[in-house]
Chains A and B, each alone.
Chain A
């Protein structure tokens, strides 16, 4: 077995496998670093910036930075949490998030982060941007009003030949997620289900599925996101 790399997160001694990113190693050591675009075993995108940590006074995304020997990582500190809340607030105002009418409400990771940080109102003005949903697929409904452009679907929703069903189109302000209608024409129920799971928010929905768990029984109704990651003593 290769030598473990010793490092610390907020002063706690941790150990990483060579090549492991800070985020993965943190999870293995029972430390929660908040994230949105990260997906286990999928190439990281570093796009949402929620997992920003501080190493030697610099900000870096924990999902893309490999652990180095002796690294001192700062994670759960007011400065970083304040920045994280600010990103969450921006995501809320730059889309159209009508949580009371959203199929993903209660199971949504963006909303769950807002709960974790007790966001009562975003400090930024609501933009109410115009976004066009796409209902063209038989099994999937794409509600771009809620898309946070995290690329999880692009990286992880693939057909049997490894081709991505999703892609980005346009640039800048106009950047939007789009479904390849040809590839997705005969999408199986399982893959459609998986796509809905992979999307952290309510942007990818499986048609005729939603509001299945009563309020109070959903993932984040009583348990804060990340609270299941328990500190492990090694």
Chain B
């Protein structure tokens, strides 16, 4: 039987969730025996080369590219998992949700205390750049998400237990210490 295929991505996240995945330490050796990785920053495969079983999504959706990538993951993966606070509820990027987008951009590129070089008052306007969304959206408000692993980042044991449960089909172990929101 071929191994289950895992894909991962970081949308509006900080890569902390991916770091936490690496925090499973030497169990990573067991993991690569159990599963095969496809599109993921971990193996640097940039495009899907096959249908995947499990997609791990770090980060919420703050721009049009995030939405596109998330939709592609939904198409390519049988099971999608929101990994971490940002995927689940927008996380720290969503702190901007109460502030009009124009104000955010002006603060970042014109008025912020660290802005010094932008004398021509240029705002990012290249067609290549993804459009910012009005708000940062939790992933499950954009596509259907099957499972949620909270934490900032989710504890390595939580990610490990979830992957093992998904691969074996056994019920997931959820000790009190591993489900935390920070």
Chain A residues packing against B (C-beta within 8 Å): 96-102, 105-106, 111, 114-115, 118, 120-121, 125-126, 128-131, 215, 221-222, 224
Does B141 have its Cβ within 8 Å of any Cβ on chain A? Answer: yes
Interface residues in B, total, Cβ within 8 A: 27
Does B59 have its Cβ within 8 Å of any Cβ on chain A? Answer: no
In the assembled complex, the Cα of A222 lies from the Cα of B90 at a distance in Å of 26
B52 CB contacts on chain A under 8 angstroms: none
In the assembled complex, the Cα of A99 lies from the Cα of B98 at a distance in Å of 17
The reply to whether B91 and A100 contact each other, CB–CB distance below 8 Å, is yes
Interface of A is mostly: loop
A-B contact pairs, 25 of them (CB 8 A): A96-B98, A97-B89, A98-B91, A98-B94, A99-B182, A100-B91, A100-B152, A101-B95, A105-B181, A106-B182, A118-B174, A118-B179, A120-B147, A120-B148, A120-B150, A120-B179, A121-B140, A126-B90, A128-B90, A128-B97, A131-B98, A221-B177, A221-B180, A222-B176, A222-B177
In the assembled complex, the Cα of A97 lies from the Cα of B95 at a distance in Å of 10
Residue of B nearest to A106 (CB): B182
The reply to whether B180 and A98 contact each other, CB–CB distance below 8 Å, is no
The reply to whether B90 and A115 contact each other, CB–CB distance below 8 Å, is no
Does B135 have its Cβ within 8 Å of any Cβ on chain A? Answer: yes
Question: Number of A-B pairs whose CB atoms are under 8 Å?
Answer: 61
B7 vs chain A, min Cβ distance (A): 21
B180 vs chain A, min Cβ distance (A): 7
Does B21 have its Cβ within 8 Å of any Cβ on chain A? Answer: no
Does B149 have its Cβ within 8 Å of any Cβ on chain A? Answer: yes
Max chain B CB contacts within 10 Å: which of A97, A101, A222?
A: A101
Contact check: which of B95, B135, B147, B181 meets A99 at CB < 8 Å?
B181
Contact check: which of B94, B97, B147, B176 meets A224 at CB < 8 Å?
B176
Residue of A nearest to B141 (CB): A125
